[in-house]
Structure 1
Amino acid sequence: MPVTVRVVDPVEWSTDSVRLTRYAFQPSPAELDTERELVRAKTYARFSRTHVLYEDGAARATAMVWRMRQHVRGRLLPMGGIGGVATDPAARRGGRARTLLTAVLADMRDQGQVVSTLYPFRPSFYERFGYAGLAQERRVRIAPAALLPLLRLDLPGEVTLHRQTEVAGEIQRFETELAARVPGMAVYDDPDGELLATQTPEWAAVARLDGRVTGYLRYTITEHGADLDAHRFLYRDPVTRSLLLAWVARHTDQVASAVLPLPPGETPETWTADADLTVETKVAPMTDAAPMARILSVAGLAGIDAGPGELTVRVDDPLIGGVYSLSGGGTLTVTPGGTPTAELTGHGLAALVYGALDPAELALRGYGSVDEPAAATLRSLFPATTSHLVAHF
């Protein structure tokens, strides 16, 4: 049976791709409003590429790649964010997704994207494609009453409430600015916030200091006496964090709890005395999977922050396989060739670059063969860090 994989136009997206993703990820059966989907497709097409695998002319599998940028050790690198990977149920377990994703990975590399991330339905499936796991986002559930002392502080700045669509451009520009400081943070190539303006309506409590956006809380309230559920809680500094937490405190007699995402290293137990809170990290296939990342171009990593050291590695990977000499001492230099003294898989390299694993752990995962001297050099080149993807797609 003839099989082709190609990038589709908005019309095909609104019919062929959407049919597959809706069946895979949304309640069904449901009527498909193709006119409404076509409007969305025309917007999405400016920021993404949607691939469809056709078999005998019928759409059998699909995947969308968002054009994004990600902070990787001091640089914002071109990133492909993969989402909406779906296969027709009649075509599952037959290798179509593998064929599709092999083509998608090559296309991302050819489009100049250096790294890729995704949220897997099953991590072991994407591990076969060279993706390594990243840290899962933590969330804190806190009683707003615990934050009431913050309302007594004389804090500079202000918080104003908006529909997210009203401030989408400001929010997007703030996120892009913040991404330059937050390891692992990814943002859409969408300086005016056009994509954010099309998403499900949410509240945006925006903090400003001297008229400049320094943080925001994006949330919904399920019902009176229930939760204030935040999907973004981002801030530039402790003052802004306190401004936003004081905003949460103003909901003491409206909601029972606020549920806030936490950046790595944040310690909510220190926000105020007598805090009533729970911090949790949930990881589960399909519903709460931790993100994963992959390297699409080793040469494209040149210029990221790297510690002192020199090492030549052989990378065993169908997309980026080869021998590379790596040297640091400020920024990373990548030179093809040399005599390798360590072997890494594609996911092994990703795990090191993103700080997800120590070199000594690579052999335990089947991610490479590294002796102790090589491990010490890799540890120096890629010091331990925690990457926080932030974006969901």
Structure 2
Amino acid sequence: MSEIRRLRREELRDSLDLSMYAFQYELPEEELVERLATMNPEETWGYFIDGKMASKLTILDLTTWVNGKKLKMGGIAGVASWPEYRRQGMVGQLLSKALEVMKENGQTLSYLHPFSFAFYRKYGWELAMTFKKIEIQTSQLPKLGAAEGRIIRTAPSAAALNPIYDAYAARFNGPITRSEEWWETRLLKKKGHMAVYLNAAGEPKGYVHYWIENQECKIHQLVYLDQDAKRGLWKFIGDHDSMFDKLIMQAPPDEDLAFEMDDPRIKQELVSFFSARIVDVEGLLGQLQLRHTGLPQEASLRLHVTDGQAPWNHGTFELRLNAPEGSAVVVKTADEPAGGSGAAEDGLACDIRTLSVLLLGAKSAGELHRIGRLQGDERSVELLAVVLPRRTCYLPDFF
């Protein structure tokens, strides 16, 4: 007999054993006990066969920034199966269950870090988050000029750093909001030093979390709210030039640090990172902050969406875009999307993967239309380009 259900507390050790096996790591006994004490069995769903856990996944209750607003998001993590149960469709059934659970929880979006992009694309998740991996030799360190403020080295503190991070994260689509527990257990446990930049008025405007070892400087986090803070933090980093030969960091995909450097021939790699999926089309469209400037008085748009995993997303949606305060009125008008040329003549048609990256701003309507992922007339494409703000998609965390 098989069943899908939430874990019980006494099954957490089995879940952790499966994770350690599947992801090839071991925890010392002390850390294992600590991890079990903080785990919430309500977050993890298991596929059980005759009472034995065969597969499992965890749904993290998170919040993400999109178009300057905080939205509820379900973070999928720890997806694993014992080898004798793999390739039998269990993970697919768990993902379908997860979509139902997230919809019930009001989590209109879901992110995950895929072991295989192709695998999760089958279930509606699409590449949305990338980052730029940068390597800089000491002789190339940027010299951006003098800053007006000063640096203070300080003990890592979530209370001190989170307001800076939150202001920074709100500029992107995709970052999560960080709880104090998230800071303490996932970020500040990393070996490293912390420095905060204060502007001329004494206001914190940036920070850097870094570690130097074996002639290598690893930047865990570099956050700045303005160019003055950027100059001050890079001056501080550069003052360590006698301590390392190479610096390694991650940055948003649109970071153009090389343009500001005397020697721009630095190593830069664009890394495909996280996938995203819309859990609830109607719910998300009703929450998104849209641009209404320049719209005709009775602007509306039809979206024909295909979703083989979440039937509530499958169908035709009408967006009435003349609602106040940048929101939209969304109505599902049909349970089956118009197909073929019918969709092209009446609104826009796409699958859930395409709509996910479109509404997050990872790809524009014009880009998706050009490569055939978004079908429809030019007027509708142009209308979407007007109402959807473009922001860089970036997730500086991992789960």
Q: TM-score, normalised by structure 1?
A: 0.84
The offset of 1:138, in angstroms, is 0.4
> Could you say which residue in structure 1 is the equivalent of 2:339?
none
Deviation larger for 36-45 or 229-238? 36-45
The offset of 1:102, in angstroms, is 1.3
Say yes or no: does 1:207 pair with 2:197.
yes
The offset of 1:123, in angstroms, is 0.7
| Superimposed CA distance per residue, residues 175-229 of structure 1 (whole angstroms, 9 cap, x where no aligned partner) | 2332222232222344783434674433333333345432222233341x2x212
Structure 2 letter corresponding to 1:290? F
Structure 2 letter corresponding to 1:378? L
CA distance in 2, matches of 1:53, 1:139: 37
Structure 2 letter corresponding to 1:328? L
> Could you say which residue in structure 1 is the equivalent of 2:337?
none
CA distance in 1, matches of 2:206, 2:378: 43
> Could you say which residue in structure 1 is the equivalent of 2:350?
344
Structure 2 letter corresponding to 1:67? D
CA contact (8 A) 2:67 2:172 kept: no
CA distance in 2, matches of 1:239, 1:201: 27
> Could you say which residue in structure 2 is the equivalent of 1:132?
126
> Could you say which residue in structure 2 is the equivalent of 1:323?
316
> Could you say which residue in structure 2 is the equivalent of 1:25?
23
The offset of 1:337, in angstroms, is 3.2
Which of 247, 257, 261 is the aligned partner of 1:258?
247
CA distance in 2, matches of 1:18, 1:342: 44
Q: Matched residue pairs, number?
A: 375
Which of 146, 169, 172 is the aligned partner of 1:179?
169
> Could you say which residue in structure 1 is the equivalent of 2:95?
101
CA distance in 1, matches of 2:330, 2:60: 29
| Superimposed CA distance per residue, residues 282-327 of structure 1 (whole angstroms, 9 cap, x where no aligned partner) | 4xxxxxx421111112233224232344202122223222332223
Distance 1:213 1:38, change over 3 A: farther
> Could you say which residue in structure 2 is the equivalent of 1:240?
229
Structure 1 letter corresponding to 2:90? R
Structure 2 letter corresponding to 1:60? A
CA distance in 2, matches of 1:127, 1:272: 38
CA distance in 1, matches of 2:162, 2:218: 20
Say yes or no: does 1:369 pair with 2:375.
yes
CA contact (8 A) 1:206 1:215 kept: yes
Distance 1:347 1:115, change over 3 A: same
The offset of 1:383, in angstroms, is 4.4
Distance 1:204 1:12, change over 3 A: farther
> Could you say which residue in structure 1 is the equivalent of 2:108?
114
| Superimposed CA distance per residue, residues 30-57 of structure 1 (whole angstroms, 9 cap, x where no aligned partner) | 4763x643422333439x8222222211
CA contact (8 A) 2:74 2:102 kept: yes
Say yes or no: does 1:293 pair with 2:287.
no
Q: TM-score, normalised by structure 2?
A: 0.83
CA distance in 1, matches of 2:141, 2:122: 45
The offset of 1:256, in angstroms, is 0.8
> Could you say which residue in structure 1 is the equivalent of 2:340?
none
Distance 1:211 1:38, change over 3 A: farther
> Could you say which residue in structure 2 is the equivalent of 1:6?
6
Which of 365, 383, 393 is the aligned partner of 1:387?
393
Distance 1:347 1:365, change over 3 A: farther
Say yes or no: does 1:43 pair with 2:38.
yes
CA distance in 1, matches of 2:159, 2:7: 28
CA distance in 2, matches of 1:61, 1:219: 37
The offset of 1:145, in angstroms, is 4.0
Unmatched 5+ residue regions in structure 1?
283-288
CA contact (8 A) 1:143 1:276 kept: no
The offset of 1:78, in angstroms, is 0.8
CA contact (8 A) 1:182 1:388 kept: yes
Structure 2 letter corresponding to 1:206? V
Aligned residues: CA RMSD: 2.8
The offset of 1:154, in angstroms, is 5.0
CA distance in 2, matches of 1:6, 1:364: 43
Structure 2 letter corresponding to 1:291? F
> Could you say which residue in structure 1 is the equivalent of 2:52?
58
Q: Secondary structure at 2:168's aligned position in 1?
A: helix
Distance 1:2 1:337, change over 3 A: closer
Distance 1:93 1:186, change over 3 A: same
CA contact (8 A) 1:169 1:193 kept: no
Q: Secondary structure at 1:252's aligned position in 2?
A: coil
Deviation larger for 375-384 or 122-131? 375-384
Which of 284, 290, 306 is the aligned partner of 1:306?
290
Percent of residue pairs bearing the same amino acid type: 25
Distance 1:365 1:12, change over 3 A: farther
Say yes or no: does 1:158 pair with 2:164.
no
| Superimposed CA distance per residue, residues 255-300 of structure 1 (whole angstroms, 9 cap, x where no aligned partner) | 1111122224321124343456222224xxxxxx421111112233
CA contact (8 A) 2:130 2:393 kept: no
Structure 2 letter corresponding to 1:293? A
CA distance in 2, matches of 1:92, 1:172: 41
Structure 2 letter corresponding to 1:23? Y
Q: Secondary structure at 2:242's aligned position in 1?
A: coil
CA contact (8 A) 1:294 1:346 kept: yes
CA distance in 2, matches of 1:271, 1:347: 36
Q: Secondary structure at 1:137's aligned position in 2?
A: strand
CA contact (8 A) 1:115 1:294 kept: yes
